[in-house]
Amino acid sequence: MDQLNQATREQGLSPEKRLGQILVEQGFVTAKDLEKLAAVQKDLIAKHQARKDAELKAETRGAGPPDAPGPKTSAPGQKADSASGAGAVEQDSLGLTLASPVEGDSESLSRLLSSARDRGASDIHLHAGGGLRLRTHGVLSEAETHGFSADEVERLVASALTRVQKEELRREGEIDFCFDLEGVGRFRANAYRQQRGFDAVFRSISAEPPTLDELGLPSDLARFTNFHQGMVLVTGPAGCGKSTTLAAMVNLINQEREEHILTIEDPIEVIHPSQRCIVNQRHAGRHTQSFARALRGALREDPDVIVIGELRDLETISLAMTAAETGHFVLASLHTNNAVRTINRMIGAFPSNEQGQVRTMLSESLRAVISQRLVPRIDVEGRIPALEVLVINKAIGNLIREEKTVQIRSSIQTGKAHGMFLLEQSLNELVASGKISRETALGIAEEKKLITAGV
C-alpha cells in the first residue's frame, strides 16, 4: 500500500505518466506483471459490459435488469406505471431492499417539493418516522404535514431515481443526484440509508445560471473572471453558496469570452447552455470515474477554463495546480472557513517533503481566494453573503513561499487598496448598513474584537 501511495503521489506531480509506468520505473512491479494484470482487467471489463448491455436491452423493453425484477419506475413529473405492482419490493443479492414507487408517488413528491419551494425553503428533508422538515433562510423547522412512514419515504425517494440510480443506492447506501421537475424547478438531492430506512434531502437550485447581482455579491468580484491562467478558489462551510457563486462566475465568462469551459461536478447542479463559450459539464462518477480522472483527461481536451466542483483529495489538488500552471484558468471550491486556512489546507494535503515545492507552485499559480458565509438579514427576509477576499500579489506570494502564512491575515486587513478585506470587515459593513444585526456578526466573526459597527 505504501508503494502504491508513493506511485500515486508521483503521478500527481507527473500526470503525463501512467501509473503502471511509474510502478515499473520504481521497481515495484515488472512489465510482465502489468501484462498479466491487464489481461485480467480486460476480461472483467468485457464481462461487465456484457451484463450492462443485457440490462440496457431489458430496460429499453420496459423490463428491469436480469437480477432486479420489478415494475418500471417513472421520473418525477411523469406518470408512474400501473399500480398493479403496488407495494412491490426490489431486492438485490445482498438482501437490501428499496420499495418500488406506486402510481401517484411521483405526483406526491412533485407537490411536496413545489410547496416547499413556494415557501422559500432551500433544503427539504424527507425523514422516515417524522414529518417534512424545511430549511428556510438557514433555519430548519417542521412543516405542517403528516409523518412519513419508512415505506412512504422509500417510495417517494424511488420515484425520483432512475433504475441505474436505484441500483447504486442499494449497492452504496447513498447517492447524490440532480433532477428537474417540470413546472417546479431543478433540485440537487442526496438519498441515504439510515437506521429506520431511507431519508433524503432535496436542495432547490436556480433553473437559470445566476448572476452576481442576483446573489447579492459585489460586482467587483467580476474582476476575478478576467484571468486566463492561474487559480481562483471559492471557499466556505457547507451550505454557504459556494457552488452558486462558482455558477455565477462561469455564467459571466460564458457571456463575455469565446473559450472552452469544462466543468467537473458531483453532481451537475446549474446547467450552463453554451453561449459565447463552448460549455461541457461532466458529472464525476457518471461521465467520468472521478475528479482526478477527469482532470487528467482535461489537460488533453483543449479547455481554456476548468471548473472543479470540489478539491477533495491530494490528487485532485495536485492536478488542479498543474492545470493552473500550464496555461489554464481554474475555478474551484474548498471546504475551508477563511483564506489563510485555505492556503494551509492546500499545502498540508501534501507530504512534508513536498510542501516546499508546493508553496512555490501555489505562490505562482493562485490568483485569489473568496471565502463566504450566508448571514440572516434583518431588513428583509432571507440571507446575504459576507465575504473575505484575498488577492495574491507579490507580497502575499512571498509570504506563501517563505512559510509565513500566519502574516497573511494582517495583510488582508490592510489591503483595501488591493481589493482585499477580512470577513469581519465585510460583517461591519453589513451591520452599518442595517442589513444584519451586530449579534449575528459577533456569532460569525472569528476575531470578535474587530466587530466595531453597531456599538
Greater confidence, 346 or 8?
346
pLDDT higher than threshold 90 for residue 12: no
pLDDT higher than threshold 90 for residue 383: yes
Q: Lowest mean pLDDT of 204-208, 304-308, 338-342, name the range.
A: 204-208
Burial group, residue 8, by CB count within 10 angstroms (0-12, 13-18, 19+): middle
**What's residue 55's pLDDT?**
47
CA 400, CA 412: separation in Å to the nearest integer? 13
Q: What is the mean pLDDT of residues 423-435?
A: 97
Greater confidence, 129 or 72?
129
- 4: confidence class by pLDDT, cuts 50, 70, 90: low
110 φ/ψ angles, rounded to the nearest 5 degrees? -60, -45
Q: DSSP secondary structure string, 70-116?
A: SPPP--TTSPPPPGGGTT-EEE-TT--EEEPP-TTHHHHHHHHHHHH
pLDDT higher than threshold 90 for residue 131: no
pLDDT higher than threshold 80 for residue 404: yes
- 182: confidence class by pLDDT, cuts 50, 70, 90: confident
- Our CA angle for 270, 271, 275, nearest 5°, is 125
**What's residue 447's pLDDT?**
96
Supply the pTM of this predicted model. 0.72
- 56: confidence class by pLDDT, cuts 50, 70, 90: very low
432: its cell numbers: 452599518
- 86: confidence class by pLDDT, cuts 50, 70, 90: very low
- 429: confidence class by pLDDT, cuts 50, 70, 90: very high
How many CA atoms, within 13 angstroms, populate the side-chain half-sphere of residue 246? 32
CA 203, CA 270: separation in Å to the nearest integer? 12
pLDDT higher than threshold 50 for residue 73: no
Q: What is the dihedral of CA 117, 119, 125, 129, to 10 degrees?
A: -130
**What's residue 93's pLDDT?**
27
Q: Which residue, chain included where needed, has cell 482526478?
A: 292
Contact predicate 19/44, CB 8 Å: no
User: If you ran DSSP here, which 8-state letter would residue 218 be given?
Assistant: -
Contact predicate 65/53, CB 8 Å: no
From the CB of residue 355, how many other CB atoms can be counted at a distance below 10 Å? Answer: 16
CA 335, CA 409: separation in Å to the nearest integer? 18
Q: Lowest mean pLDDT of 162-166, 312-316, 371-375, name the range.
A: 162-166
**What's residue 79's pLDDT?**
34
Find, among 214, 263, 205, 155, the residue nearest to 385 by Cα: 214
Mean of the per-residue pLDDT values for the chain?
Answer: 83
Q: What is the mean pLDDT of residues 260-274?
A: 95
Burial group, residue 282, by CB count within 10 angstroms (0-12, 13-18, 19+): buried
- Our CA angle for 60, 151, 170, nearest 5°, is 50
Contact predicate 393/418, CB 8 Å: yes
From the CB of residue 197, how many other CB atoms can be counted at a distance below 10 Å? Answer: 20
Contact predicate 167/65, CB 8 Å: yes
From the CB of residue 43, how many other CB atoms can be counted at a distance below 10 Å? Answer: 10
SS3 content of the chain, % helix, strand, coil (to 5): 40, 20, 35
Q: Lowest mean pLDDT of 41-55, 57-71, 91-105, 377-391, name the range.
A: 57-71
Greater confidence, 33 or 211?
211
pLDDT higher than threshold 80 for residue 344: yes
- 253: confidence class by pLDDT, cuts 50, 70, 90: very high
pLDDT higher than threshold 50 for residue 97: no
Greater confidence, 404 or 129?
404
**What's residue 36's pLDDT?**
65
**What's residue 351's pLDDT?**
97
How many CA atoms, within 13 angstroms, populate the side-chain half-sphere of residue 266? 17
Q: What is the mean pLDDT of residues 402-428?
A: 97
177: its cell numbers: 443526484
Q: What is the mean pLDDT of residues 365-386?
A: 96
CA 315, CA 299: separation in Å to the nearest integer? 14
Structural domains of the chain ordered from first start: 2-50 (no CATH), 96-205 (3.30.450.90), 219-450 (3.40.50.300)
**What's residue 217's pLDDT?**
96
Greater confidence, 160 or 11?
160
Amino acid at 244: T
- 19: confidence class by pLDDT, cuts 50, 70, 90: low
pLDDT higher than threshold 90 for residue 70: no
Check the CA dihedral 118-121-126-129 and report its sign.
negative
Greater confidence, 146 or 364?
364
Q: Lowest mean pLDDT of 5-14, 77-86, 267-276, name the range.
A: 77-86
- 1: confidence class by pLDDT, cuts 50, 70, 90: low
Contact predicate 46/39, CB 8 Å: no
**What's residue 84's pLDDT?**
31
Q: What is the mean pLDDT of residues 281-290?
A: 90
**What's residue 197's pLDDT?**
86
Greater confidence, 16 or 289?
289
Separation in Å, CA 376 to CA 50, 100, 309, 434, 454: 53, 40, 25, 12, 16
Contact predicate 369/235, CB 8 Å: yes
Q: Produce one character per residue of 208-243: b if its CB has 16 or more CB atoms within 10 Å, e if not.
A: ebbbbeebebeeebbebbebeebbbbbbbeeebbbb
